[in-house]
Amino acid sequence: MTAWRGGVSCLCLWVGLATASTPQAWRSADHQMVTACLQASALRAPRVDSTIMPFDDAVGWSALLLTAGDPHASTPARAGRELCLWQRHSGKVAVMPVASPPAVSAALP
């Protein structure tokens, strides 16, 4: 009976290790997300403006902030920000514009 339990424990450990993601797999998934978000963006020449923010696996989404243009440029149409949500399981992307946050000093009394 003890040998049987040990065999099951070893099998469970092996299965757990076999399904664990390698650093290379994480880099590949991150690259896929960034590429998909940049392609789905409506901004002209978008660039990544945040680190990837993965939500819990129960949610299955990751978020990324994109920006384009120079916010100090004389033509405000060049500037923009978008939030990109990427569903890790399917690779689907949802991109929406976001307003720039107000200055911290303006929010303080």
Taking only the tens place, the pLDDT of each residue in 11-39 is: 444 444 445 689 999 899 999 999 999 99
According to the model, what pLDDT value does residue 21 have?
82
Is the pLDDT assigned to residue 7 strictly greater than 60? Answer: no
**pTM (2 d.p.):** 0.67
Buried/exposed code over 67-80 (b: 16+ C-beta within 10 A; e: otherwise):
bbbeeeeeeeeeeb
Q: How far apart are CA 26 and CA 42, in angstroms?
A: 26
What residue type is assigned to position 11 of the chain? L
Residues 79 and 101: their CA atoms lie apart, in Å, by: 14
- On whether the CB atoms of residues 101 and 49 are closer than 8 A, the answer is no
Among 66, 67, 68, 64, which Cα is nearest to 85's?
64
Distance CA 12, CA 38 (A): 39
Q: State the CB neighbour count (10 A cutoff) for residue 33.
A: 23
Cα 67 to Cα 19: distance, rounded to the nearest angstrom: 35
pLDDT at 69 over 70: yes
